[in-house]
Amino acid sequence: MTMTNVHTNIAADAHPVEMLLNMGPQHPSTHGVFRLVLWIDGEKIVRAEPHIGYLHRGSEKLCEGEQYHQVITLFDRLDYVANFNNEWAYCRAVEKLMGLTVPERAEYARVILGELNRVASHLLYVGTMGLDAGAMTPTMFCFRGRERIQALFEAVSGARMMHNYFRIGGLKEDLPENFVQMVKDLMPLLRQDVEESDKILTFNEIFLARLKDVGAISPQEAISYGFTGPCLRGCGVDYDVRKAHPYSVYDRFTFEVPLGLDGDCWDRHWVRVQEMYQSLNIVEQALQQMPQGPVTSSLGRRLLRPPKGEVYVRGENPRGELGVYLISDGTDKPYRVKVRPPSFCNLSAIQHLLQNAWIADSVIILGSLDIVLGEVDR
Amino acid sequence: MSCRLAADNVLYGNPLFRWVYDLAGSALPCWLAYIIAGLVVMFIVVNGVLAGTAVLTWAERKLLGRFQNRVGPNRWGPFGLLQPMADLVKLLTKENLTPKGADRLVFNLVPILMMMPTLLVVAVVPFAMNTAVADLSIGVLYILAVSSLTILAIFMAGWSSNNRFALFGAARGVAVLVSYEVPVVLSLLGVVMVAGSMSLSGVVEAQAVPFLLVQPIALFVFAAGTSAELNRTPFDVAEGESEIVAGYHIEYSGIKFAIIQASEFGGTITASAVIVTLFLAGWQGPLASYLGWLWFLLKLGLVLFLFVWVRATYPRLRTDQIMAFSWKFLLSISLINLLATSLEIYWLRGAERALTTGDLWIMALMNLAIAAACLLVAGRLSQAKVRRVRPPLPVAASGTAAREAR
């Protein structure tokens, strides 16, 4: 019996004892518009089929129609909870193509903003992971911290999200006068928010029971699926772009790369929580070292026409390695922009991870991959 | 014409009922007076519970707000006290949907069936001296029997909604309730044995030492069991909002949803009232004959606060973990408790076959020790499986030091 229609195929495939459960695209725990079709035997998942593309906006194609500086706003909207990191990767790609050097002050500002954005993003993750596991209080602690960071971002760039603040060759404008003091005031509060959400959740006995040994993946499998970022480090693979291929001024800071042991959901969670502490350490070091001076290179403000050529740049985003592949044909618009989104690669393992999992674990596993669908679907 | 209520009537002990009955009986036929008196008492109880429910919804949201660095409802009335009214008006004006393909009769019966056990349990709880609606001689048994009726409503809701999420919620609810019924019954057996009575007022009067101390394991098992039966965190799998969205009541809207919610909050109140009665000495306290209701309300508030606290703190367990918790842990400690209690009673009771206050204190000490040992052993066993603490990472050296080192 051959049927081409997807939906009739689903019915024909289903084993009599299996039940089909459609999660999403409107479901509170799919972290956006993501659809998961589950074949279920009792409370166990037999098979899972992810459906993506509900948030597809054609970002990569849109980039081809915009001038180099205008593309930055499109990158803001890829991973919409880590905007600075996205802008940064794109700007670095164009800078590498043009051979621009970024002023020191701008580099430090980028590091501070990027790391704070990492903390904000991980705080959002911890909060939603708490919700996925059924605890609502950590969410509030996390969002309080995230709100504080976003208030700082607003003071710097004028927007809480979608900042459009980095420029090719530097920043849009200099940081506010009291920036260093603002960040210094923020640090203890932020540390307290992170600690509070860490203490109430990470080693909670029920939380451990829910996350430990759930959704485990071996380092080899993780690498073959293209895992990067905390998901890969949760398996114990020591790969962090900031250490492995240092960019910007990351080689001037001391920080650890937290590694998991078992590659399960809890290790991924733990790695993210520890990364927040490390990011705060980096911010503190960067604040001490940040020099005065210009924030934009002389070329940065002009209409850009990079030389012909192609370039690939990778950056450590909160979700993993964001790769930007850029081809220039010498005009004022990029010929092609290809994004290697960490969320998409991490999500590719969902089918594998959900095999034989409990239904309740499906949201935990999905949550621990920490996807942002703006980036998955682009 | 005057009517006499037989002294062996189950409602004889209720002064309000007797008063209304006598009053109405002076003018009306006895059977009608009986019904009227019953309706009057029912009216007061039902509205009392519903008013308590409204207050609890406000208090829970306010407390959760405080736990979570929020304000909680504060727009409507002083301290947001009228928020439940606003909620009710909103839900009343919502469209009352019945999904396509639903079993209409069963679907619409559910809210009523959900509310029923909540109200029925209240009937036997003495919230002050001599004020139970009906002081049944088998009160404890009655509570166990009636409170299990909720599961029927949950299952009907899940089955009739024609929704797979609802069906999952119902299946989980049934599984949880059936598992938790066993340890709960076993834990209450210990209480009944010590009290020597199944009537709730009898249990209250037997508590010269609160059973919180005499039967700590029973209290723990009962509290865990009732929060599982009430679908409260950390056992709220039947309506686990993160995976099966709202579970069995996913399809309910408008006033039906309001009634289901009210019955859940009402269930929390009645369960707390039962805990207060069985373990916290009910209305007993200084000046109990006048201020019994006050002590009862204070203790009730304390237990409800604990329920909210737990809800604000813990994540949710998975279905299989909840089952394991019930069958492996709760069942075994309630059996240990039962064994220990019966041996203690056998050794301690005197020639007149009754326990003195001194005996109760001895039992309290022994049972507290047993409870501590149980928790230690069980904690060790369950921790070993899940916990593998690694040392925290060393805090990175400061930036300037790192620079100088290079």
Residue-wise pLDDT for B133-147, tens only, equals 777 888 888 988 888
Tens-place pLDDT, residues A118-135: 999 999 999 899 888 888
ipTM, two decimals: 0.79
Q: Domain limits of chain A? A: 59-342
pLDDT at B128 over 80: no
- The answer to whether position B406 is within a domain reads no
Q: Do residue B82 and residue B137 come from a single domain?
A: no
Q: Which tokens in the block code for residue A266?
A: 């809890």
Interface test with A, best of B243, B319, B323 (most A CBs within 10 A): B243
Q: With contact defined as beta carbons under 8 Å apart, do A126 and A268 qualify?
A: no
Question: Which pLDDT belongs to residue A8?
Answer: 45
Measured between CB atoms, which of B316, B394, B396 is closest to A133? B316
Q: What angle do CA A142, A118, A101 make, to 5 degrees?
A: 155
pLDDT above 90 (res A78)? no
Question: In a mutagenesis test of the A interface, which of B386, B395, B406 is the best target, namely the one with the most A β-carbons within 10 Å?
Answer: B386
CA distance A186 to A123: 15
* Cβ–Cβ under 8 Å, residues A231 and A369: yes
* Cross-strand bridge partners of residue B146: none
Residues 363-392 of B with CB under 8 A from A: 382-383, 386-390, 392
What is the average per-residue pLDDT within A165-188? 87
Q: Which of residues 221-260 of B touch A (CB under 8 A)?
A: 233-234, 236-237, 240-245
- SS3 at position B32: helix
Angle, helices A179-201 vs A137-157, to 10°: value is: 170
Does A340 touch chain B if contact means CB atoms closer than 8 Å?
no
Q: Helix or strand or coil: residue A305?
A: coil
For residue A136, give the chain B residue with the closest CA.
B312
Q: Which pLDDT value is given to residue A149?
A: 92
| pLDDT at position A45 over 60 | yes
d(CA B329, CA B383): 13
Q: Is residue B186 part of a domain?
A: yes
With 50 as the cut, is the pLDDT of residue B232 above it? yes
* Domain span holding position B47: 1-93
**Same domain flag for B87 and B106:** no
Those residues with Cβ within 8 angstroms of residue B382's Cβ, 6 or more apart along the chain or in another chain: A205, B329
Distance CA B222, CA A45 (A): 33
pLDDT of residue B383 exceeding 70: no
Whether B159 is in a domain gets the answer yes
Q: Are residues B48 and B193 in the same domain?
A: no
**pLDDT > 70: what percent of chain B?**
91
Q: Which of B106, B86, B107 is nearest to B96 (CA)?
A: B107
Look at residue B401 in the predicted model and tell me its pLDDT. Answer: 38
Whether the predicted pLDDT of B285 surpasses 90:
no
- CA pair distance B259, B350, nearest whole angstrom: 51
Residue A293, class by beta-carbon neighbours within 10 Å (0-12 exposed, 13-18 middle, 19+ buried)?
Answer: exposed
Query: Is position B392 within any domain?
Result: no
Distances (CA, A) of A266 to A6, A112, A183, B91, B142: 35, 28, 30, 40, 44
CB contact under 8 A, A277 and B319: no
Average confidence (pLDDT) over A79-107: 88
Neighbouring CB atoms inside 10 A of A205's CB total: 16
Q: Model confidence over A226-240: pLDDT tens digits?
A: 899 899 888 888 888
Q: Based on the fold, state whether residues B20 and B136 are members of the same structural domain.
A: no
Q: Residue A13: its pLDDT value, please?
A: 54
Identify whether the C-beta of residue B5 lies closer than 8 Å to the C-beta of residue B21. yes
Q: What is the dihedral of CA A99, A104, A107, A109, to 10 degrees?
A: -150
Same domain, B123 and B181: yes
| Rounded mean pLDDT, B6-33 | 76
Nearest partner of B159 among B85, B44, B249, judged by Cα? B249
Structural domain total, chain B: 2
Average the pLDDT over B185-197 and give the result: 87
Q: How many separate helices (H) and strands (E) can be counted in chain A?
A: 16, 8
Higher pLDDT, B244 or B72: B72
Q: Looking at B12-26, B158-172, B213-227, which range is the least confident one?
A: B12-26
For residue B401, being part of any structural domain is answered with no
Burial readout A46-80 (b: 16 or more C-beta within 10 A, e: otherwise): bbbbbebebbeeebbebbeebebbebbebbbbbbb
Q: Lowest mean pLDDT: which of A12-16, B172-176, B322-326?
A: A12-16
Residue (of A372, A306, A304) closest to A339 by Cα position: A372
| Bigger pLDDT: B391 vs B368 | B368
Question: Do residues B115 and B71 both lie within one domain?
Answer: no
B158 and B47 both lie in a single domain: no
Q: Is the minimum CB–CB distance between B66 and chain A shorter than 8 Å?
A: no
B396 domain residue, yes or no: no
Strand, coil or helix: B50:
helix
Q: Where are the alpha helices (DSSP H) in B196-318?
A: 200-206, 211-214, 216-229, 254-279, 288-313
CB B62 within 8 A of CB B73: yes
| CA gap A280, A121 in Å, rounded | 13
- Low-confidence winner among A87-96, B275-284, B386-395 (lowest mean pLDDT): B386-395
A263-293 residue pLDDT tens: 888 889 989 998 999 999 999 999 888 888 8
pLDDT at residue number B395: 42
Which two structure tokens, joined as six digits, stand for B44?
Answer: 């007061």
pLDDT bucket at B305, cuts 50 / 70 / 90: very high
The distance of Cα A211 from the centroid of its chain, to the nearest Å, equals: 21
The three-point CA angle B96-B98-B104 to 5° equals 125
Chain A residues with CB inside 8 Å of B393's CB?
256, 258, 274, 277-278
Name the domain boundary from B43, B76, B93: B93
Q: pLDDT value at position B394?
A: 43
Residue B391 domain-assigned (yes or no): no
Tens digits of per-residue pLDDT, A137-166?
888 889 989 999 999 999 998 888 888 888
Residues of B (282-341) whose Cβ lies below 8 Å from A: 312-321
What average pLDDT does the segment A211-217 reach? 85
The amino acid present at A371, given as its one-letter code, is I
- Kindly report the CATH class assigned to A59-342: mainly alpha
| Residue A210 Cα to chain centre, angstroms | 23
- Residue at B26 is within a domain: yes
Is the pLDDT at A101 greater than 80, yes or no? yes
